[in-house]
Structure 1
């Protein structure tokens, strides 16, 4: 973009190259070209013309190649593909161009970041033809759009967390639902992988995620590609079965389109443990629920509700959980408590029934 001359439209960057030809010669043709940008990051909130050029009608007797690197107000002649080639006089006029201040802002961002500002860059080309200059009509057109993303990172949400806190990051199903956010990323390729963390064998979550994978099933595949989604349930088929009592790690990757090609953005690694729901009423599980509540609401509020002399001193879970008068399972409770602990949710009030 920095190589575009707003005064003339000249550029040495290839935007388009087309051959103009006809079944019958001679024929009159006219070419129109526009490059435009939409980039809220640059405060360009409506589509704005970068440069718009129009070639006055010319008569051709043989096919002609039109290349943007030879399509500017300084271009005075073109050569057709006859043998020997004919010289064609042309007159290319500027129709519109971006404000210098907006263009300088775009170039400044390019120099600082090394890539174009996030947004949509569109290149349009139209060809008009006819038997005379007076009866030209649109005969062909082409339009290409380039989406530039600014990677904002991938944030895993649930299930799981740090390896040291698997007592809190527990789910009660072998088909957990994975949730994450990719910011404002559009047109991104999304991938997931899940592996078992073997205590005493793996020294880190990174080692576990690169070892034998549960998902994808095929060990020659490092990742499994998903649709452009931010939630995914562990599949019933096409993956290895998860088991109660074991610890697992998972990770998300997004491939983001940039001006220099696709760039990989990889999330952190989350760890979770699968507990058997049939054993959820055991004393160990009751202690776990209370510990989860403590981490979610904080020590002061927990002690005020469940501590010595409080209303719920000696509380024990019945295993029945409801949210807004609707029964929920322990896995849903786990996700809510996890969001509270991570400060993604806040408690407005507490009522004891």
Structure 2
């Protein structure tokens, strides 16, 4: 069983704490730096054969208040809570490191100073006195996930370190507990306004300062941005073409995405944006960015398009709509589409009164309902439709 994978995790995850002082010396541990902005930890950022890396994840210092002793012990444990692994409060590893031959008052060490063969850091020697790992079957299952995904699985990792006196384990110098949230996001879905291009009629809005909403998974260190552009089917070959054109948000064309302070919803601003105008189509997209050991990662959502209607047009459409359109549809069937739409002979035709001529007689248009019933029951048959 190759234990290097789990040593790599410890290198990734190496705050203040409760302090107790012993009689055999006074030590404390302080955090100089920790890469809290990282949420994705990829295995290929560390040499799997040596443990070497050029990326600094942490830097700590152990400070001795006096020179009473030149050695101490560091007890450590790593607890995992990972839905990806199906683990809750699971102790992956624990052990004891003997730090001896301390020759300077402050030991400063970083993960870049430590690899699989490290036996010393400037000013002291390191030696693994005790090491405990989970069972072979549990380790193999975890290792399989890590190797297949190439990264530390999403979850919360808790590293506990306690400095103790080498001569008396009951004497605790200092202790730390560091919680690392490694949750690299997966999905980013737009909700409203808009949708696909064929749905613009049903998803049309009237608000020229709309509320944009989207759904994404948990991410504490993610940054979000939004981009809104006008869409003109005569100028743009696709929604992707439109989103790359001049933006209405942000109005500053040197910025690709307008920075958002919150995640999940955003009201169109009155500043730093051009007006959204009625009777136009617009496209929008959300971008998410975050830091990993491979550098900055950016995810973009799909592109939604929405139509901004006007109340004036709505009133015009209502006024001009044929009140007997449904009657004609039921009477003519598929031939209605041929005659009244797609440049048919009766496109834009509307029944302007409530009577029709039937067998050379003027009768109420409601008589057509009787004919529709006869057609549906098979008592009558529509043979031909002629337009005069």
TM range (shorter): 0.5 to 0.7
Alpha-carbon displacement from aligned partner over 1:169-201 (angstroms, at most 9, x marks no partner): 210110111121114455432221101113422
1:143 partnered with 2:186: no
TM-score under structure 1 length normalisation? 0.65
Q: Tell me what 2:51 maps to.
A: 12
Q: Tell me what 1:221 maps to.
A: 255
Q: Tell me what 1:105 maps to.
A: 141
1:163 partnered with 2:197: yes
Q: Tell me what 1:322 maps to.
A: none
Alpha-carbon displacement from aligned partner over 1:231-270 (angstroms, at most 9, x marks no partner): 1111122211111111111011222555534422211111
The partner residue of 2:96 within 54, 58, 64 is 54
Deviation (angstroms), 1:67: 6.5
1:234 partnered with 2:268: yes
SS of residue in 2 equivalent to 1:93: strand
Q: Tell me what 1:246 maps to.
A: 280
- Asked whether the equivalents of residues 42 and 117 of structure 1 are also in contact (C-alpha less than 8 Å), the reply is yes
d(CA) in 1 for partners of 2:287 and 2:126? 53
SS of residue in 2 equivalent to 1:229: coil
**Structure 1 residues 165 and 12, CA gap change in structure 2 (3 angstroms):** same
Unaligned runs of 5+ in 1: 82-86, 288-353
**Structure 1 residues 24 and 202, CA gap change in structure 2 (3 angstroms):** same
d(CA) in 1 for partners of 2:85 and 2:72? 37
d(CA) in 1 for partners of 2:254 and 2:174? 50
1:3 partnered with 2:4: yes
CA-atom RMSD in angstroms: 3.5
- Asked whether the equivalents of residues 247 and 271 of structure 1 are also in contact (C-alpha less than 8 Å), the reply is yes
d(CA) in 2 for partners of 1:110 and 1:89? 28
TM-score under structure 2 length normalisation? 0.60
Alpha-carbon displacement from aligned partner over 1:7-46 (angstroms, at most 9, x marks no partner): xx898266755443324213353322223321111111x1
Unaligned runs of 5+ in 2: 12-49, 322-388
**Structure 1 residues 257 and 99, CA gap change in structure 2 (3 angstroms):** farther
Alignment of 1:83-232 (within 5 A): 92-94=129-131, 96-128=132-164, 133=168, 136-139=171-174, 141=176, 143=178, 145-151=180-186, 153-232=187-266
SS of residue in 2 equivalent to 1:116: coil
SS of residue in 2 equivalent to 1:250: strand
The partner residue of 2:308 within 268, 274, 280 is 274
**Structure 1 residues 175 and 54, CA gap change in structure 2 (3 angstroms):** same
1:35 partnered with 2:78: yes
Deviation (angstroms), 1:284: 5.0
* Structure having the higher Rg: 2
d(CA) in 2 for partners of 1:220 and 1:149? 29
Deviation (angstroms), 1:110: 2.1
